[in-house]
Amino acid sequence: MTILSHLAYALFCLVWLGWFTLFSTDLAKSIRNSCASFVLGLFVASPWVWVMVDRHGWEIFTAAYTSHGGLGFVWQPVDLMRLFSINFAVISSNLPLFGVFLVGTLALMFQRRFSFPLFFLLVTLYFPENARFVYFLGGMLAGYGIWAVLRWLGSRGYMWRYGGNSLALVVLAMIWWGGFSEISSYKPHLHESLLECAEYIRSWTNADTIYLAMTAQDEAEWMPFLFEREPLTAQWGSEWLGKYNEQTFLMSQFQGCRMAKDWACVEKLLEQLPKSPDVLLTYAWDRKINDQIEESRNWEERFVNGRYVVWGPSAPAAGP
């Protein structure tokens, strides 16, 4: 299931196995264990894989290689330092976490144990998965940093050990509080207003209707399922068609127009596409872009609630 829905997770596990197999002190044993893990994982996944191959063919896997970035990075020239700074921000933006992370990384380097820091660098550049893997591995290095400091302080006597344990608790509390504060600030992406829109769109439009959602991507991700209609552009799901990069670029262009509140920008993009939307969805509070849509006289409001506006094509003007 993970291989098909989030290929980057499977690639991460595969690279993890391969990397630490190569750096193992007992290479033969490590190869045996890695192969056993691979075969066991393949056996567990085989019923699902068999069904997918039977229905869609092996090409579904090759098409999914761009899922969440997948292997697409291999063929795309990038500024590695800029890419590292972006993906590493989840660590560097949290000073207590960054401090113990740095200690853990330096401790491993001084011990000439380079495999894990190099693996962290590899993942940060090529398998960040929106920085989830970076945070996961960075947390392990931070934990090693705390352990290294406590071990060093413990060797200096009882009072140093007591002070070190107290300091470690303070650092852990600060890291925990930072994470808790971030999590507690999250709000659900799905809103009751979206369910109202979905009900209206399903009842008002035909099954072959195409819509364009001028909303945040995290909300738009759920709309094809809720609306039961085709989106003009959709990032998630496009990996199965081998169009992930194309759809991601197109989505980013529409998002840029939305952030700039520029309807003329949207119309210019629409002129370049082979299909046109039958329905528009915007935020009710985006008065600037909503006013521009209304002034274009090509669209009219069909449904409004506290969060969204649903637009349909304007009725043709009556003849003389």
Q: What is the pLDDT of residue 75?
A: 46
pLDDT tier for residue 250 given thresholds of 50, 70 and 90: confident
Residue 280 confidence (pLDDT) above 90: yes
d(CA 168, CA 190): 39
Q: What is the pLDDT of residue 294?
A: 92
The region of weakest confidence among 141-145, 146-150, 241-245 is 241-245
Are residues 308 and 194 in contact, defined by beta-carbon separation less than 8 angstroms? yes
Residue 114 confidence (pLDDT) above 70: yes
Residue 125 confidence (pLDDT) above 60: yes
Residue 82 confidence (pLDDT) above 80: no
Q: What is the 3-state secondary structure (H, E, C) of 128-161?
A: CCCCHHHHHHHHHHHHHHHHHHHHHHHCCCHHHH
d(CA 96, CA 260): 36
Residue position matching structure tokens 């304007």: 314
pLDDT tier for residue 64 given thresholds of 50, 70 and 90: low
Q: What is the pLDDT of residue 106?
A: 95
Q: What is the pLDDT of residue 38?
A: 78
Continuous segment of H or E residues that includes residue 217: helix 217-220
Q: What is the pLDDT of residue 225?
A: 86
φ, ψ for residue 281, nearest 5 deg: -130, 125
d(CA 305, CA 201): 13
Q: Which has more pLDDT, 114 or 184?
A: 114
Residue 63 confidence (pLDDT) above 70: no
d(CA 22, CA 291): 61
Residue 78 confidence (pLDDT) above 80: no
Residue position matching structure tokens 């560097």: 92
pLDDT tier for residue 110 given thresholds of 50, 70 and 90: very high
pLDDT tens digit sequence for 1-57: 555 556 667 778 778 878 888 877 777 887 888 788 878 877 887 887 788 788 777
Cβ neighbourhood burial of 265 (10 Å; 0-12, 13-18, 19+):
middle
Residue 152 confidence (pLDDT) above 90: no
Q: What is the pLDDT of residue 234?
A: 78
What is the DSSP code string of 161-201? HHHHHHHHHHHHHHHHHHHHHHHHT---S--HHHHHHHHHH
Residue 70 confidence (pLDDT) above 60: no
Mean pLDDT of 149-177: 78
Are residues 241 and 63 in contact, defined by beta-carbon separation less than 8 angstroms? yes
pTM > 0.75: yes or no: no
pLDDT tens digit sequence for 170-214: 888 887 887 788 777 777 777 888 999 999 999 999 999 999 999
- List the beta bridge partners of residue 230: 210
φ, ψ for residue 164, nearest 5 deg: -65, -45
What is the DSSP code string of 36-99? HHHHHHHHHHHHHHHHHHHHH-THHHHHGGGGGGTTGGGGS---HHHHHHHHTHHHHTSHHHHH
Q: How many residues does the chain have?
A: 320
